[in-house]
Amino acid sequence: MRMRKKKHREERIENCKELLTGEFETFRSDFKNLFENKENEIHIEIGCGKGRFISELAEQNPEINYIAIEKNLDVLVLALEKVKAKGLKNVKFYAGDASFLNDIDENNKCGRIYINFCDPWKKTYQAKRRLTHERFLTVYKRILKSGGEVHFKTDNKALFEFSLNSFSDFGLRLKNISLDLHNSSFEGNVMTEYETLFSEAGNPIYRCEAVF
C-alpha cells in the first residue's frame, strides 16, 4: 500500500534540516565531515523507513556515527522527527537511494552496513535490483574497511536464500546465521517497524552477517 503524503511534509523536513547530510559533494570524500565527533566509526543503514531501528541503535551506541538512507520522503520525515525528539547527534540522513554510494571516494570508509527488510524484487529478471546482488556487493566492498560487515534481515525466505548464495559466491565469510531470529539465542537485536509487524503475524525473521 502506498503511503499518503504526510501533512506539512516539506515544512517538517525543513524543521529537521540539521539532521540531513546536505549536498553530496560536501561528504563524498569523507563521511566524517558530517559529524561533530569526527573520531567515531561510521555505520550506514540502507532504507531506514520510519527510523525506529536507526534511532534506537544510535541511542545505544553513542560512540558510532550513523548515516541513514531513505528515498521515500513520507517515511523519512518520521525518521527525522524520531531522531530529533531524542536529541541524537550521531545520526545523519541522506534523502535518496543507495545509488549515490557508487560515487563515494574509495578512501571514504565505513565499518558496517545494515540492510533491513528491503524489497525482495521477486521476479527472476529483477535479481539485479536486490540489495544483496553482486553488483551492490561490489559497491559495499569499495566503501567498507577491511573486516567490515553487512548485517542483513528479512522475512522473505527466498530472498534470504538468494542472499546467502550471493554473499558466498562473492567470497564473503558468513556468521550469526539465523532462520528464526526471535526464537534464537542471538542477543542485542534492535527491531524495525516491519520486523514487529511480521513477527507478530507469526513470520520467522531471517538474519545473517557477511564479513568483507
In the chain, where are the structural domains located? 109-212
First-to-last alpha carbon distance for the chain, in angstroms, is: 35
Cut 0.85: pTM above it: yes
74 is catalytic: no
**pLDDT, tens digit only, all 212 positions of the chain:** 456 677 889 999 999 999 999 888 888 899 998 999 999 999 999 999 999 999 999 999 999 999 999 999 999 999 999 999 999 999 999 999 888 899 999 889 999 999 999 999 999 999 999 999 999 999 999 999 999 999 999 999 999 999 999 999 999 999 999 999 999 999 999 999 999 999 999 999 999 999 99
| Order of strands, sheet of 64-70, starting from the edge strand that comes earlier in the sequence | 91-95, 64-70, 41-46, 110-116, 144-154, 206-211, 173-178
CATH code reported for the domain at 109-212: 3.40.50.150
Q: Which three cell numbers stand for residue 125?
A: 529478471
CA dist., res. 166 & res. 174, Å (int): 11
- Tell me which of 97, 103, 105, 119 is the catalytic residue: 119
